[in-house]
Structure 1
């Protein structure tokens, strides 16, 4: 099975001095996801939590909603070119009896990179029509979070990233309570993969929807990540960098609280500000 990190020879140049040394790199390998034996998607990911990744991917695609929808997930044997040992880079998801397979899922055989994942009108339409847990858009919603609590999340995310400290090459997604308690964290070369691993583990443990949680991600907040949060019933998504325009549009439309540029005590709230305990004197300019 692929490892999370690998060692490679590197020539290091520092202030004109040249040396040779081994360097620790984050591993990146393809994972093919099959549904009922039929190829569905290939994603570039960091090996580990592959079953959770596949389950989370199918939550975001509207196929799975609970652990009871899932019969099992297995690695497909003999996947190497030589036909000998198992590469552990192909998984097959079997749905429970009676769980329907949407036609759109099988019609779209896709390749997702570690940098972007899936995006586009087809995904936007899927969120509008198949999300099982519409987010509460009422100002009286019980989910509330203090800005000071949000401010502490990036440091907590970074301190919990074990592999990043050795490689500097991984994104992360973490699940927190509204009081800032860390519930789970996953790392991957792709932000969307890290989120899928978080959501997939929650599904396997019977915890969906994650309606009282905050999702914190490294990097930017893309449409893809907003989609995954909405499909998992997560009401708050925070990122250390910028959101895209489509991500903001989807957050506004679905009632998601979207926070970007979360760095220290500074942050931008792009949507769903009713969940933040803001001062009544806050400027609306």
Structure 2
């Protein structure tokens, strides 16, 4: 398997003084995902949990709905002179009867920011390919439990502690239990690895769970939560306007700026339980 981190010699300048030191960097390498032997996509990722990444990507794209749709995932020989494996190319074999998507050069994946979809077209696309609905999910999360999740996520980021250069995605129960965590140099990849883990474990849809991401909440991450049947997406930073639109239309609870004891609940506020003494009525947006 590929390395997750590398050590590099650097010149460090601090307060007017300089000196040589060794720094730990997170590895970023391309991963080519093939489907039934044909090239599907290439993503830049941190090596590790590659099978989860591939499975999660296919779930996010609506190609598969779970482990039963995947016959096998295997690494392919890399493009080295001696034919050795670089672990940067893998092939996913679909189970018999599972439809193969259009893989022409014109094919645009919904999860890429350059897909050309916008506004209502993007919302309609996700609604069309989603396998599950989260609107009726009964999950409820106490506000104090949500407030504690970023610290729990950070405490579990082993590679981040060494590099400071990774995004994280964590899956939590309403009681605050961390079910799984994945790290990657790419925000989308971290979520795909998490969703892929759930798919390969036969856990989809992920009802009564919350997905916490270490950055902002984009449309693509809201889409991935919906495709996995996750009823709540929380982020330590801001959501995008299209992420809020998608969450509102689909019944996804969306929480942003989750820092300390404060948070902004953009959609699905019924899933956030406030203490009666501190709860104040909030007018619906006009």
What is the SS of the residue equivalent to 2:282? coil
Give the aligned partner of residue 240 of structure 1: 236
Whole-Å separation in 1 of the counterparts to 2:44 and 2:122: 19
Give the aligned partner of residue 44 of structure 1: 44
Post-superposition CA distance 1:103-154 (Å, at most 9, x none): 37885267x89xx6868347544311011111125xxx52111111100000
Give the aligned partner of residue 94 of structure 2: 95
Whether the aligned pair in 2 keeps the contact of 1:62 and 1:126 (CA below 8 Å) is no
Whole-Å separation in 2 of the counterparts to 1:6 and 1:162: 15
> Which of 178, 190, 193 does residue 186 from structure 2 map onto?
190
By how many angstroms is 1:212 displaced? Answer: 1.2
Post-superposition CA distance 1:46-90 (Å, at most 9, x none): 00000000000000000111211000011111x224252111101
Closer/same/farther in 2, CA of residues 172 and 118 from structure 1, 3 Å limit? farther
Whole-Å separation in 1 of the counterparts to 2:174 and 2:207: 10
More moved, 83-92 vs 211-220: 83-92
Normalising by structure 1, report the TM-score: 0.92
Give the aligned partner of residue 2 of structure 1: 2
Normalising by structure 2, report the TM-score: 0.92
Give the aligned partner of residue 143 of structure 2: 147
Give the aligned partner of residue 128 of structure 2: 129
Whole-Å separation in 2 of the counterparts to 1:198 and 1:123: 23
Whether the aligned pair in 2 keeps the contact of 1:119 and 1:224 (CA below 8 Å) is no
What is the SS of the residue equivalent to 1:103? coil
Whole-Å separation in 1 of the counterparts to 2:22 and 2:211: 35
Is there any run of 5+ residues in structure 2 with no aligned partner, and where? none
> Which of 169, 173, 177 does residue 173 from structure 1 map onto?
169
Give the aligned partner of residue 120 of structure 1: 117
Post-superposition CA distance 1:146-183 (Å, at most 9, x none): 11110000000000000001100000000000110010
* Match runs of 1:31-110 below 5 Å: 31-77=31-77, 79-103=78-102, 107-108=106-107
Whole-Å separation in 2 of the counterparts to 1:272 and 1:43: 32
Whole-Å separation in 1 of the counterparts to 2:115 and 2:152: 28
How many residues are paired up?
279
Post-superposition CA distance 1:190-249 (Å, at most 9, x none): 111010000001000000000111100001001110000000000000000000111111
Whether the aligned pair in 1 keeps the contact of 2:108 and 2:115 (CA below 8 Å) is no
What is the SS of the residue equivalent to 1:151? helix
Does residue 209 (structure 1) correspond to residue 208 (structure 2)? The answer is no
Whole-Å separation in 2 of the counterparts to 1:246 and 1:105: 27
Closer/same/farther in 2, CA of residues 88 and 109 from structure 1, 3 Å limit? farther
Runs of 4+ deviating beyond 6 Å: 116-119
Does residue 251 (structure 1) correspond to residue 247 (structure 2)? The answer is yes
What is the SS of the residue equivalent to 1:201? helix
Closer/same/farther in 2, CA of residues 56 and 15 from structure 1, 3 Å limit? same
Whether the aligned pair in 2 keeps the contact of 1:4 and 1:48 (CA below 8 Å) is yes
Is there any run of 5+ residues in structure 1 with no aligned partner, and where? none
Whole-Å separation in 1 of the counterparts to 2:168 and 2:134: 24
